[in-house]
Amino acid sequence: MDHRPSDVSKQCTFCQKHYSSKPILKRHKLSCKLNPDKTNQFVCAKCSTGFSRKDNLQKHLRLCSSGTRKKETISCLYKDCKMTCFTKTNLIEHLSCVHNKNIEACKTLHFDDEASFILWKEKEEESTFSYFPRATGSQQCGETKRNYYYCQHDGSDRFHVRKEQEGRKSSRKVHIGQIKRNFLCIAKMVEIIKEDGKQREVLYNPTHSHIPCMNDIAHQPIAKSTSDLINRQISFNVGAKEIMQSVQGNVDRELRKQELTKNIAISKKSVQQRILKRKNNLRLHQNDSTSVAMKVDLLRKEAYNPIVLFRPKEQEGENVFMLGIMTESPKK
């Protein structure tokens, strides 16, 4: 028998759907179609569409233009062709059928869990010099959930400011350049999460609209497995140079020119920055002395109290002392 009282407390009393947290459930009830007390407090002044939540109205206002809205379309990659499509799938079919473009067929892959999917994705990206970041948000299709991954080249090259603002907020730019060049790439992945939340079905379109280049590695994050390896070595206080050498050592020297990988792009400076960030995250306070005092207070609460204080008798004043932190076995 399945006893899940927490799930019952997060279940909508109108449509019986379950939600991951109570705040999400509360927001859902306001807009639930089966809620008899549902009211549209927020109304669009342009098209009179009602909404139960203010944030939904704000999203609507960004798209609404006096009631006449057109769905965004995708233009054909060939300049002389006037064809427009509503989805990338339609565009791929058009390029293949009309322009006879050599496009590899969509692959359907199956994975038992998220970890196996991520592992395959990292290997595929490394072998093709590509990277597929996940698009913001996901799509709920009945009992399944869909996540979309698009090529890093795909998208607008516009800087991140509001449309009504002109110019960049800062003149600073990344020294390695910008990866997005207002370009459309048809390569994509669709991750379909099954009802159990573990099994994955992935629809993969591997053909790009551009030629993947090894120089794109500079714009790509390192693999999760490599990141975990670096974090483990940092936890054992391994130096930045040694960590860099161990990560790069996984690639044969003779094959480095032919098989350039993300691991070779890892520098000593990037490892040092990660070490510094980790140390700052472990600090209990920005002030060093306050941080040490807070750490001592926490350790004193341990069952064996590992704190040892020594104050020389010949020294005057309370500010001269030695602080020691011991493990349980030496203290005994």
Condensed to tens digits (0 to 9), the pLDDT of residues 220-249 reads: 787 777 888 888 888 888 888 888 888 877
The answer to whether residue 261 scores a pLDDT higher than 70 is no
Q: Show the CA angle centred on residue 217, arms to residues 90 and 102, nearest 5°.
A: 30
Q: Which of 118-127, 161-170, 308-317 has the lowest mean pLDDT?
A: 161-170
pLDDT at 195: 84
How far apart (Å, rounded) are the C-alpha atoms in residues 222 and 266? 8
Residue 16, phi-psi category: left (phi > 0), alpha (psi -120 to 50), beta (remainder): left
Q: Is residue 86 part of a domain?
A: no
Q: Are residues 260 and 325 in the same domain?
A: no
Instruction: Report yes or no: 4 and 11 within 8 Å, Cβ to Cβ.
Output: no
Please tell me whether the overall predicted TM-score, pTM, comes out greater than 0.85 for this model.
no
For residues 58-68, average pLDDT: 69
- If one counts every other C-beta atom within 10 angstroms of the C-beta of residue 135, the result is 14
pLDDT at 40: 73
Q: Is residue 22 part of a domain?
A: yes
Q: Are residues 52 and 124 in the same domain?
A: no
Residue 65 token pair = 């233009």
Tell me the one-letter amino acid at 248. Answer: Q
For residues 35-44, average pLDDT: 77
Domain that holds residue 29: 5-63
The answer to whether residue 254 scores a pLDDT higher than 70 is no
Q: Is residue 20 part of a domain?
A: yes
Q: Are residues 183 and 240 in the same domain?
A: no
pLDDT at 99: 92
How far apart (Å, rounded) are the C-alpha atoms in residues 69 and 44? 14
Residue 236 token pair = 């054992």
277 three-class SS:
helix
Q: Are residues 272 and 212 in the same domain?
A: no
Q: How many domains does the chain have?
A: 4
pLDDT at 302: 80
- Considering only residues 70 and 66, tell me which one the structure prediction assigns the higher pLDDT: 70
Residue 131 token pair = 């990277």
Q: Is residue 69 part of a domain?
A: no
Supply the DSSP string of 216-261, one letter for each residue: GGGGSPPPHHHHHHHHHHHHTT--HHHHHHHHHTTS-GGGTTTS--
Per this entry, what is the length of the chain?
332
Q: Is residue 90 part of a domain?
A: no
Q: Is residue 96 part of a domain?
A: no
The answer to whether residue 255 scores a pLDDT higher than 50 is no
Q: Tell me, rounded to whole angstroms, the distance of Cα 67 from its chain centroid.
A: 35
Instruction: Report yes or no: 11 and 18 within 8 Å, Cβ to Cβ.
Output: yes
State the residue for tokens 């020389």.
Answer: 312
**What are 268-291's pLDDT values in tens digits?**
888 888 888 888 777 777 787 888
**What are 181-211's pLDDT values in tens digits?**
788 999 999 999 988 888 999 999 999 998 8
Q: Are residues 123 and 211 in the same domain?
A: yes
pLDDT band at residue 258 using 50, 70 and 90 as cut-offs: very low
For residues 112-130, average pLDDT: 90
Q: Is residue 32 part of a domain?
A: yes
Residue 149, phi-psi category: left (phi > 0), alpha (psi -120 to 50), beta (remainder): beta
Q: Are residues 201 and 275 in the same domain?
A: no
For residues 81-86, average pLDDT: 89
Of 117, 150, 125, 121, nearest to 135 (Cα)?
Answer: 150
Residue 250 token pair = 């996984």
pLDDT at 285: 77
How far apart (Å, rounded) are the C-alpha atoms in residues 308 and 326? 7
pLDDT band at residue 172 using 50, 70 and 90 as cut-offs: low
pLDDT band at residue 1 using 50, 70 and 90 as cut-offs: very low
Q: Are residues 19 and 44 in the same domain?
A: yes
